[in-house]
A and B are shown apart, each in its own frame.
Chain A
Amino acid sequence: MQLKLEPRGFQSKFWSYASPVLAIALTIVTMGVIFLVLGKDPAVSLYTFLIEPLVAENGATELLVKASPLILMGVGISLAYRANVWDIGAEGEFTIGALFGGGVGLAFPDLPFAVLFPAMLIAGVIGGMFWALIVALLRTRFNANEILTSLMLTYIAQLILIYMVTGPWRDPQGFGFPQTAMFSANATNPTIIEGTRLHLGIFFALAAAAAGWLLLTRSLLGFQLRVQGFAPRAARFAGFKENKLVWTALALTGGLAGLAGTLEVTGPIGQLTPQISPGYGYTAIIVAFLGRLHPIGVVFAALLLGLSYLGGEAAQIELALPSAVTGIFQGVLLFYLLGCDTLILYRLRIRSSRPAAVRA
């Protein structure tokens, strides 16, 4: 008796939807076991991690606050990964976007909101795009692996941020803390529900998801991105310009990440500090995979991963668990998802252990 994987010869539609559900279920069970190992009651811990953040006061809006940057970046990453452009540096693009957008806000605090805020968002998009296009340049011009360059640039972006907030942009009235002054009222991302932290980001996120969906399914560019990833040779024969697609994919990812960065520092954070992201850029990669590299799927995936941040905070406060629980949840989820995704292309067969005919 042995388990064998047998190619289906097609992509199972059923499993491409069922795989994330199964993976989430397995992850929850595994988290229960991990909580047990850590000496906590699994039922109470899972409730604290997954349910309580939602029923708490402002739970729903806090979830959307966390999900917004994840959606923005997840949409961009989905489009890029579809085209086999493995940008893992969204975290860095987010950071540079926040610096560009935030920088405009700090430089012109007194301009009217209607001029200043849009200018900041545009600067943020440009910043993120600029950072991602370095990766595009290095890949298309010099054949450098974008996985490694985009990650190295993320480390560099983080150091630039630290330099700016401890050096040139440090708030002179900040008692020596490494942070800039708070953004002026005109440079602040407004909250859309009184008494909550829900900000404009969610509108941009949903718009990005809708636009991403249109682009992917209804445009020539989207078609080209998909073919480039799925069948690069066919794309070449069809005359699609690979380099152009790489530039486009990275510009989209970087621009959306930069927008997310600006919205985040001008909204929930309110200033530039050395820590402006709890790893949103990496989490967005999981969001993209869990959302089936599809802009609409990304929205749902971002809600779940956003919840893992809230759950980590709750577990830290109420169960005295390290917030690293969030990272474990995310890693385990991605493992299970990748494992379950096998069922999209293969079916499991149980067969007797008689050696099978060998065919390459």
Chain B
Amino acid sequence: MDFQYTSFILSVVIASTPLLLAATGELVAERAGVLNLGVEGMMLVGAIAAFAVAVTTGSSTLGILAGVGAGVLTSLIFALLTLSFLSNQVATGLALTIFGTGLSALIGKAYVGMVVARLPQIHIPGLSDIPFFGPVFFGQDVLVYVSFALVAAVYWFLFRTHAGLVLRAVGNSHDAAHAIGFPVIKIRYLAVMFGGGMSGLAGAYMAIAYNTSWSEGMTAGRGWIALALVVFATWRPFWLVVGAYLFGSIMYLSLYIQGFGVHIPSQFISALPYASTVVVLVAISRDRKRIRLNAPASLGKTFHAAG
């Protein structure tokens, strides 16, 4: 009994972590007023970069770094177009996802069928061996702890530091922030790059911790679910944890039910995370006042300083 609980929780954590990582990055970008719909594309590019490097070098660490770097690089294309060339953020984000899907498939062709060593779970002698609590709190892989640390860091940065206040000001009213003298474009570049790095990290997690192999389009819409999670959390970091773990549970449960041989067509169960996303979006968005109160007011709007 005890064993089952443990493995259930461990599986949920693994399913939730990529969502949490990607959504945390997107939340910062959106708080700065930039809507980057390219999360899915950046995740895929991060995933193949991490996988390719991890397979070639045999090092998970280098793989993870490559994933983050690839995410940052792809997000720079988006930043350049939307922030310097003032292109439409929705269209550019879509382009990034289409491009990232194609690029990762092209690079990934050579890596189909290969297997990489799974990101190891840490083991602290003594602590990790405690029944139940040990594996759950002291036996996860390192990126799980990183994901929680990053949520806390993002919260602290956004709401407890001056720089975070400036970033939120840029997202709420870029014209006012600009008038005060804040470098709106520079701040948005950094926020978008952070989002890209986190998407790349989420992709790396998919490729070397959630899975240990590469397959085309392996993120299966998680980038889009991460975008929905930001709305679900109404742009507040700690609610991302709730949302990510809710969806991680739904994703794992859908696998779990199938394993039980319940007589529901597997496609219906596979559709559950997507259907839940719609339901959750509806439940949150119908409260227009709450959305208006929390959404960055300049979200998705192009900024151009005349002069």
Contact = CB atoms under 8 A, between A and B. Distances in A.
A167 B265 contact: yes
Contacts of B91: 289, 334, 338
Contacts of A330: 98-99, 102
Nearest to B288: A143
B281 A327 contact: no
A145 interface: yes
Interface in A132-158: 138, 141-145, 147-149, 151-153, 155-156
Interface in B55-96: 77, 81, 85-88, 90-92, 94-96
A46 interface: no
A334 B285 CA distance: 30
A138 B282 contact: yes
A284 to B, nearest CB: 12
Interface stretch (A63-71, A231-239, A318-326): A318-326
Contacts of A142: 282, 285-286
Interface string B8-46: 000000000000000000000000000001000000000
Contact of B98 (A153, A160, A282, A358): A282
B95 A357 contact: no
Contact of B86 (A5, A145, A148): A5
Contact of B106 (A138, A324, A356): A324
Contact of B277 (A148, A327, A341): A148
A49 B138 CA distance: 54
Contacts of A159: 267-268, 270-271, 274
B1 to A, nearest CB: 33
Contact of B306 (A325, A335, A359): A359
Interface of A: 5, 7, 86, 88, 138, 141-145, 147-149, 151-153, 155-156, 159-160, 162-163, 166-167, 282, 285-286, 289, 322, 324-332, 334-335, 338-339, 341-342, 345-346, 356-360
Contacts of A328: 99, 102-103, 106
Interface residues of B, number: 53
A152 B275 contact: yes
Interface in B278-304: 278, 281-282, 285-286, 288, 291, 304
Going nearest first, the 8 A-B pairs with the smallest beta carbon separation are A327-B102, A331-B99, A324-B105, A334-B95, A338-B87, A163-B267, A159-B267, A324-B106
A228 to B, nearest CB: 16
B138 to A, nearest CB: 36
A7 B307 contact: no
Contact of A156 (B86, B88, B224, B275): B275
A360 B306 contact: yes
B228 A360 contact: no
B85 A359 contact: no
B109 interface: yes
B281 A149 contact: yes
Nearest to B216: A324
B120 interface: no
A153 B276 CA distance: 11
Contacts of B141: none
Given A145-B285, A162-B267, A358-B307, A338 B88 contact: yes
A276 to B, nearest CB: 15
A281 B106 CA distance: 21
A149 B86 CA distance: 26
A98 B305 CA distance: 48
A326 to B, nearest CB: 7
A159 B254 CA distance: 14
Nearest to B286: A142
8 contacts: A142-B285, A147-B90, A152-B221, A153-B278, A159-B270, A322-B109, A327-B98, A338-B95
